[in-house]
Amino acid sequence: MKWTILMSPALLISILLVFLVACGSDSTAPTKSEPAAKPAAKTSSAAPTAKPKAADKAPVVQDNRTDKSLHVVITPMPQDTFLPWKASQSGHLVFRPIIENPATIKPETGVSKVYPQLFTEWEISPDGQDYTFQIRKGVRFHDDQWGEFTVDDFIYNVDSSTQEGSLTGCAATFKAFMGADSATQMKANGDLKVIDDYNFTMHLARAQVDLMSWWMNVLMVPCAQSFSSAQFAAEGESMYETGPSGTGAYQFTSRVLNEYAEMERVPYDHWRVNPDFKTLKISTVPEEATRLAMLLAGEADLADLSKAIHDSATDKGMVVFESPLPAVGLTILPLGQYQVSKVNYNPDDEPWAQTGETGRLVREALNRAIDREPIINTLFKGRGVPMYNTTFHQTLEGWSDRWEEEFEAKYGYDPELAKKLLDQAGYPGDSNGQNRFKMEVRQSSLPGLPEVIEVAQTVMQSLQAVGIDAYIKETEFGKALEEFRDRHDAHYLLPVRQTIRPIAANMRIYYYTGPTDAEKARPTRGVLYMESEIADRVYEQMLSETDMDIRNKITQELGDYIYDEYQTIPVVNIKATIVGNPDVVEDYSFGGVTGVFFNMENIQATR
């Protein structure tokens, strides 16, 4: 089966998804978003297997180039580094304009369609273990001496993102399905066969049906990027500091870590898009008030601002640009539920992590203690709708209407009931119902959702009100990431951005344990490790299952478990927003599931 432009891949996860629908409420602030189409009706039919019509043609490139400059100010990234493999997905923000991926999405369709980018075609065997790929010819690197993007560059970039010490989140899964520690080793083993510079095959050690809808897609941007292998061979790691050559529509000019990255439009007709703006500067500015002041003073043209202060910008003539589809959500995770691996599992000191009735009662109490309405209406200015189950969405496979219908009865705000539940669980506290147990609440920020800072304060106060000795600890998100992903040793409540992704991708990130690595003495296949045996079983089946009815059934089984066990604290789904100066920016349609900082090469300049 061969998939090309506007494909609906039968064996990829994306065919099993339906269109996302915008679910943000109306706001008085002006926006530049377009109304989203209603979601397509869900179907239980098997995925189609007909071969689509070939369409190996580059898109028609519009030419609206100007000599204008664009300055974007953002919340600091979790990692600010010259080396791409030392940055997580969120840390790749400054790399995105200069690179491309094998496949991509579009803002208006989100995860429901997969589009070719560096790859023009691919075939997948019925068992999900054999792939054939064709690379787009004529995609040049920024510096002509490095030639065109070929199979060698694909291999180099996979090796880079999966090397020891990588923070990309790609290594464990890639090594598992490659059956090797690198693409180079996979090639040496005979499982990656190069036909010519633009064609190759891969025989996977295990089925992995979501390569093009997730792992080699812009949705997982760090895993298969487009930096030059020839440049790396000539210059080594220093290339990333002095001028990495990619294939994107912008090219590197300069960078100062923790301050800014500067890029310029490539000086030739790019194969895909010619950006309106001649130069692009992305600056990290920790203080939100400073970002707002820079926007109002004309020192910045787009600013990452929390929704609570949007009015301060729109009252001065600024405009809110909004993603066409729901982009992210806010969920709160009681970390430390290491109930399968038992690695760094401390249920005696962390009652929320316990199995059985005690843990369920405590986690329900945490949910009942938090009033979601003011978070949605005040912090997010009414731009969101309730999230009913973390990582699940009404338009994704496995959804159950029961979760929404029963939410108020099972999760509704009720601090008095929360106290009774804690008493019942065996945590009555002192004579005043205080000091029931200690609970750390982490406060950290991520680009695209600056509201999490204030949410952490709200959560702490809510827990204190029901007698939990809750306290705030400020930390960089990169440090938290190291604790929960790289050390499997996180024991706190974490308000975090939840991206609306293909459901299997979020299963791995949030709930999958996987085998314990004997050398590291901890699991290495997941990210957040909200562990359960049912999550492991469902995720592993989803890797190869292509029957839509079965996928829906087993996915809903996992969702029911998460919901009924109160494994998380779901809060809100929102559209991503960024505030801009309409005298500079006419329009910006950015990625539904990848957040604000995707598609920057398509920002339209005001004329």
User: Mind listing the pLDDT tens digit for each residue in 292-308?
Assistant: 999 999 999 999 998 88
Residues 292, 295: Cα–Cα separation, whole Å: 5
Confirm if 421 and 368 have CB atoms less than 8 A apart: yes
Q: Is the pLDDT of residue 6 over 60?
A: no
Angstrom distance (rounded) from CA 434 to CA 470: 11
What beta strand segments (E) does 337-426 contain? 384-386
Per-residue pLDDT at 17 exceeds 80 = no
Q: Provide φ and ψ at 122, rounded to 5°.
A: -155, 150
Burial code (b: 16+ CB inside 10 Å, e: under 16) for 309-328 equals bbeebbeeebbbbbbbbbbb
Contact 386, 393 (CB under 8 A): no
Span 29-43, pLDDT tens digits: 444 443 333 333 333
Q: Of 242-251, 388-397, 407-416, where does mean pLDDT reach its minimum? A: 388-397
State the pLDDT at residue 5. Answer: 37
CA angle (379 as vertex; 378, 385 as ends), nearest 5:
80
138, 146 contact by CB (below 8 A): no
pLDDT-based confidence at residue 592 (cuts at 50, 70, 90): low
Helix (H, G, I), strand (E, B) or coil at 470: strand
Share above pLDDT 70 across residues of the chain, in percent, rounded to a whole number: 89
Lowest mean pLDDT among 192-196, 322-326, 383-387, 542-546: 322-326
What would the pLDDT profile of 425-460 be if each residue is shown by its tens digit?
Answer: 999 999 999 999 999 999 987 766 788 889 999 999
**This model's pTM is above 0.95:** no
Mean pLDDT is lowest, of 128-132, 215-219, 225-229, 460-464, for 215-219
DSSP-derived secondary structure for 535-557:
HHHHHHHHTT---HHHHHHHHHH
Please give the structure tokens belonging to residue 116: 């070719």
The amino acid at residue 564 is D
What is the rounded average pLDDT for all residues in the chain? 88
Band (pLDDT 50/70/90 cuts) for residue 98 is: very high
Cβ contacts of 476 within 8 Å, gap of 6 or more: 76, 78, 444
Task: State the pLDDT confidence band at 474, using cuts at 50, 70 and 90.
Answer: very high
φ, ψ for residue 461, nearest 5 deg: -65, -35
Q: Does domain 326-574 have CATH number 3.30.70.260?
A: no
Distance between CA atoms of 592 and 575, rounded to whole angstroms? 7
Closest CA to 153 of 141, 162, 144, 170: 141
The pLDDT confidence band at residue 49, using thresholds 50, 70 and 90, is very low
Instruction: Characterise 525 by phi-psi region: left (phi > 0), alpha (psi -120 to 50), beta (else).
Output: alpha
Q: Which of 537, 362, 383 is nearest to 438 (CA)?
A: 362
pLDDT at 420: 98
CATH class of 1-20+88-274: alpha beta
Question: What are the pLDDT digits (tens) for 66-87?
Answer: 999 999 999 888 889 999 999 9
Q: CA–CA distance from 252 to each of 78, 236, 239, 241 (Å)?
A: 21, 17, 11, 10
Query: CB neighbours of 450 closer than 8 A, spacing ≥ 6?
Result: 75, 288, 304, 305, 306
Which position has the token pair 């005690």?
Answer: 358
Of 361-370, 382-391, 426-435, the one with minimum mean pLDDT is 382-391
Range of lowest pLDDT (52-56, 160-164, 170-174, 274-278): 52-56
Q: What is the pLDDT of residue 596?
A: 52
- Region of poorest pLDDT, from 88-97, 122-131, 254-263, 366-375: 88-97
pLDDT of 448 reads 67
CA distance 501 to 220: 10
Structure tokens at 438: 């200690």
502-517 per-position pLDDT tens digit: 888 899 999 999 999 9
- pLDDT recorded at residue 111: 77
- CB-based burial of residue 59 (10 Å sphere; 0-12 exposed, 13-18 middle, 19+ buried)? exposed
The pLDDT, as a whole number, for residue 70 is 98
Q: Who wins on pLDDT, 44 or 249?
A: 249
- How does pLDDT run across 122-151, given as a tens digit for each residue? 999 988 899 999 999 999 999 999 999 999
Asked if residue 48 has pLDDT above 50, the reply is no
Residue boundaries of the structural domains of the chain: 1-20+88-274, 326-574
